[in-house]
């Protein structure tokens, strides 16, 4: 299975939200990273055929998705960033409603709803109204609805927002397992989530993919540019003003700074093993990130 994006572009008047992005996605987890306004949501909406592109196309196994129509939506699961729900519905009712919209026959829908409620640890609250749920529980209902039709292409916009660390880990494991033979594309601001599960990372800025590769490949790009320096507390602020500081850790009267710099910032600085966070911060700058 292959989802290919070919020079996909979206203009809103004179504003270019997505600018000729191309990529080929095969089964696995893809992390979409980017600052706010980078074009992630617009790209995801075009991949879900909710938004018509200005130019370019999306193909699933060589077939253009706009021509596939319902057949494409049959294999698609989507969790929007701003997930809404009907307040009068219980979790089970809402999932049954979405299952009906997905055209799943009633009996099959009942079974699948039960399965998903159990998988996402919602079975004990399945008959409670969604409006009474916490943010994390609502988000889990959103994830459950995206999985109802056992989609081959799963697109999740900020799926980990609102989830506590335990729920995040549970979701990561679920997605890793799910992506064995399916395409999962998720966008997030939380670099550690992408680092933990993404087979490949697409970094977006100003509507374009500026980096694309595996987590070690992207981290490798900043090798030799990540330093650790321990300075007295009163000098830490001066360093922060001069260089990009990725991390700031108190160690007694001293402060250990993780610095991103092309050159060795000080004689005392020691090189560090780079991680994805460093690469993201290096290319986006502390302000944008």
Partner 1 sequence: MRDKVLEDVLRRSLGREPSPGRLEETIGLCAEIARKQAVRPQTRQSFWGFLSDVFHFEGIPLLLPQLAVLLAACLAAVSSHMGVYDLPMYMPLFILAVMPVFFRGQRYRVSEVEAATRTSGALLTLARLVLAGGSALVCLTFLLALEVWLQRSWENLGRVVIYCLVPYLTCMTAMLALIRRRRRDGAPLCLITALGSVAFWRCTARFLPWLYEASALGIWVAAVLIYAWLFAKEVTYIIQANKEAKMYGIVD
Q: In what order do the strands lie in the sheet with 254-260?
A: 244-251, 254-260, 226-232, 270-271
Asked if 115 interacts with partner 1 (CB under 8 A), we say: no
Stretch that binds partner 1, among 3-11, 44-52, 239-247, 273-281 (CB under 8 A): 44-52
Give the one residue of 104, 147, 276, 279 binding partner 1; rule: CB under 8 A: 104
Determine the Cα–Cα distance for residues 174 and 119; give it in Å rounded to an integer. Answer: 9
Shortest Å, Cβ 285 to partner 1: 31
Shortest Å, Cβ 60 to partner 1: 8
Please say whether the beta carbons of 21 and 45 come within 8 A: no
| Alpha-carbon Rg for the chain in angstroms | 21
Binding mask 173-202 for partner 1 (x = CB under 8 A): --------x---------------------
DSSP per-residue letters across 261-284? -SS-S-TT-EE----HHHHHHHHH
Shortest Å, Cβ 70 to partner 1: 4
Asked if 87 interacts with partner 1 (CB under 8 A), we say: yes
> Would you say the C-alpha torsion 202, 194, 83, 64 has a positive or negative sign?
positive
- Of the pair 69, 271, the CB lying nearest partner 1 is at 69
174-195 b/e (C-beta count within 10 Å ≥ 16 → b): ebbebbeebbbbbbbbebebbb
Determine the Cα–Cα distance for residues 103 and 2; give it in Å rounded to an integer. Answer: 24
Asked if 75 interacts with partner 1 (CB under 8 A), we say: yes
Stretch that binds partner 1, among 73-81, 132-140, 160-168, 242-250 (CB under 8 A): 73-81
Binding mask 142-171 for partner 1 (x = CB under 8 A): x--x---x--x-------------------
Listed in sequence order, the residues at least 6 apart from 155 whose beta carbon sits closer than 8 Å to its beta carbon are 44, 47, 48, 76, 77, 78, 79, 146, 185, 186
List the end-to-end C-alpha distance of the chain, in Å, as a whole number. 34
Lookup: tokens for 204 = 């977006």
- Of the pair 74, 228, the CB lying nearest partner 1 is at 74
Asked if 49 interacts with partner 1 (CB under 8 A), we say: yes
Asked if 93 interacts with partner 1 (CB under 8 A), we say: yes
Asked if 286 interacts with partner 1 (CB under 8 A), we say: no
Interface residues toward partner 1, by CB under 8 A: 1, 45, 48-52, 61, 68-76, 78-80, 82-87, 93, 96-98, 100-106, 108, 142, 145, 149, 152, 181
């Amino acid at each position: 299975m292959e989802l290919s994006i070919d020079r996909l572009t979206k203009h809103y008047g004179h504003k270019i939200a997505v600018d000729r992005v191309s990529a080929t996605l095969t089964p696995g987890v893809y992390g979409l990273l980017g600052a706010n306004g980078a074009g992630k949501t617009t790209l995801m909406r075009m991949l879900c055929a909710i938004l018509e592109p200005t130019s370019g196309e999306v193909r699933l196994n060589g077939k253009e998705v706009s021509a596939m129509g319902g057949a494409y939506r049959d294999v698609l699961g989507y969790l929007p960033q701003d997930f809404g729900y009907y307040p009068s519905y219980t979790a089970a009712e809402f999932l049954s409603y979405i299952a009906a919209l997905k055209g799943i026959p009633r009996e099959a829908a009942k079974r699948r709803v039960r399965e998903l409620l159990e998988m996402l640890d919602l079975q004990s609250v399945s008959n409670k109204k969604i409006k009474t749920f916490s943010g994390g529980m609502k988000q889990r209902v959103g994830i459950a609805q995206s999985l109802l039709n056992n989609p081959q292409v799963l697109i999740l916009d900020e799926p980990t927002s609102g989830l506590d660390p335990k729920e995040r880990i549970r979701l990561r494991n679920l997605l890793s397992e799910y992506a064995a033979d399916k395409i999962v594309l998720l966008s997030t601001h939380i670099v550690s989530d992408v680092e933990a599960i993404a087979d490949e990372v697409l970094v977006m800025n100003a509507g374009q993919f500026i980096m694309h590769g595996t987590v070690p490949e992207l981290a490798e790009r900043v090798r030799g540019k990540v330093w650790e320096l321990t300075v007295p507390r009163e000098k830490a602020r001066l360093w922060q003003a001069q260089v990009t500081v990725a991390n700031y850790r108190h160690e007694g009267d001293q402060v250990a700074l993780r610095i991103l710099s092309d050159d060795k910032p000080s004689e005392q600085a020691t090189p560090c093993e780079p991680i994805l966070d460093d690469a993201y911060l290096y290319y986006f700058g502390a302000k944008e990130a």
